[in-house]
Structure 1
Amino acid sequence: MRYFLYTFIAVALIVVSCKDKTKKEPQAVTPPGEDSVTETLDTLLSAEAIQSFSTSGFSGYAKKKAAGFDWSKFRMVSSWQEDSMLVAAFTPDKDYFASYGPFLKYSPDSSLFIDLDSYNIDITKDSKGRLIGHEIGPDCEVSLVDVDDKTKTRLVFLGPGGSIEDATWLDNNTLVLMGVQENEKGAKTATLWRFHIPTKTYYLYEIPDTTVAGPLMGYWRTERLKNVEIK
């Protein structure tokens, strides 16, 4: 009888131990709306995201300029939550919307917009109504503006080696910045910054082939801001 009691206790302990191990197993983190793919640490863009990106002007430019460019080649290399973001009051001057309005990227419900240019380029209208732009400096900053709260939040700040070429919205809560930045080895990489607003979570995607990045730089100047005479 004592033998069966010991056997029962041993089996029970094994079952409890297995359950505890199952609970402690780490779960893969998948961006909202993304399909997780098990390839070491890589995560591919979903078919829906690729379809959305493919309709952008930047997509056609990238495929024309960089032979190896393909949205399906992007891999998620890291993700993080930003607990403290740089937020300031949004107090534009009276000419802000006349100068930058055509280039702002509004969310589907128009409650937010992405400001790609005001930090980087001083755009004004001359006496003939032409838009004239003067580059302010080598750095690049992109902000998210809340229309109702009148606040501006810094999304990305890059030094001279990087650029944000374009941006798009996947839904009212998720935006994507498209551009180039330098990796840890100093090589330029084609990069996507995907930002989920409610959770303040970034998902960083890159194309491993560093030869793709160089030809992508300059879209903002020659295409996105083609109606601005930049001096």
Structure 2
Amino acid sequence: MKTNFYSFFVLLSVFIACSSASEEGASSGGAATEPEVDVATRLELGLQAQPRWMGFWKEALPSFQVSDFQVAGTLPMEDVSFPEKNPINARHPLAAHQIRHPEGEGVVDIYSQKLALIEEGRLLLNPDSEIIFYKRDGMRERLLFLGPSASIEEAEWLDRECLLVLGSMEEEEGYRPMVWLIFPFEGEIQLYRHQQIAPELVRYAYLKEKFQDQIEERAF
């Protein structure tokens, strides 16, 4: 456990160190800048800012700890973008769940692929999940696409560069908490898997609990 904890934070520290070095090399004049906040610290603070998600997984896994997330790899983002405005208007039941970029670069949608709007404000569970960035310049950019075995549950911007995405993956033994760190402007995704699996959960349990009687489920 200690080794995994150490490896997790060391790898995150290396990543932010590399990012900081790259930014310094690109700047000119040697102007003083504010020190970078350690990525591991930002990740933990980001998770603490999601009490609903943390509480859900602590109930499902009583020994749940942030330190039990392990680096599972780095993936390139798919280059899938085209002009399209955000179709979610203010009256849409998912409007309040879209995530605005902290510096006004656009809006991220994490639910509308998974939860399709049907009649009278009800939401239909679909098999696939998709994260879309509706950018200020009018472009629609796909940040992440996942099939039926995955559930995207929450997200937030840690800063202007990094989107924290929380969810889970269905495996043979049960459901595993997952974290994706998405860097849209760099085209990179970092994946983290929790060591524990919750065997007793039902599929999409978090979304069903969060949206409760709004969701209608059909076989797929």
Same-fold call, TM > 0.5?
Answer: yes
Equivalent residue for 1:206? 193
Equivalent residue for 2:131? 142
Equivalent residue for 1:12? none
Q: Is the 8 A contact 1:190 1:213 kept in 2?
A: no
AA in 2 matched with 1:77: A
Q: How far did 1:107 drift?
A: 2.0
Q: How far did 1:163 drift?
A: 0.7
Equivalent residue for 1:96? 89
Q: TM-score scaled to structure 2, two decimals? A: 0.70
Measured against aligned partners, the alpha-carbon deviations of 1:205-229 in whole angstroms (never above 9, x if no partner) come to 0112233794794222322x35x61
Instruction: Tell me, in whole angstroms, the C-alpha distance in 1 between the residues paired with 2:153 and 2:108.
Output: 12
Instruction: Tell me, in whole angstroms, the C-alpha distance in 2 between the residues paired with 1:114 and 1:49.
Output: 19
Identity within the alignment, % = 18
Among 155, 178, 201, the alignment partner of 1:167 is: 155
Which structure has the greater CA radius of gyration?
1
Equivalent residue for 1:38? none
Unmatched tracts of structure 1, length 5 or more:
1-27, 35-44
Instruction: Tell me, in whole angstroms, the C-alpha distance in 1 between the residues paired with 2:74 and 2:162.
Output: 14
Unmatched tracts of structure 2, length 5 or more:
1-10, 19-38
Among 90, 105, 108, the alignment partner of 1:111 is: 105
Q: How far did 1:187 drift?
A: 6.5
Q: Is the 8 A contact 2:177 2:193 kept in 1?
A: yes
Q: Is the 8 A contact 1:179 1:190 kept in 2?
A: yes
Q: How far did 1:188 drift?
A: 4.3
**Alignment length (residue pairs):** 184
AA in 2 matched with 1:31: F
Equivalent residue for 1:63? 58
Q: 1:162 to 1:116 in 2, by over 3 A?
A: same
Equivalent residue for 1:230? 215
Equivalent residue for 2:181? 194
AA in 1 matched with 2:137: D
The root-mean-square deviation of aligned C-alpha atoms, in Å, is 3.1
Q: Secondary structure at the match of 2:43?
A: helix
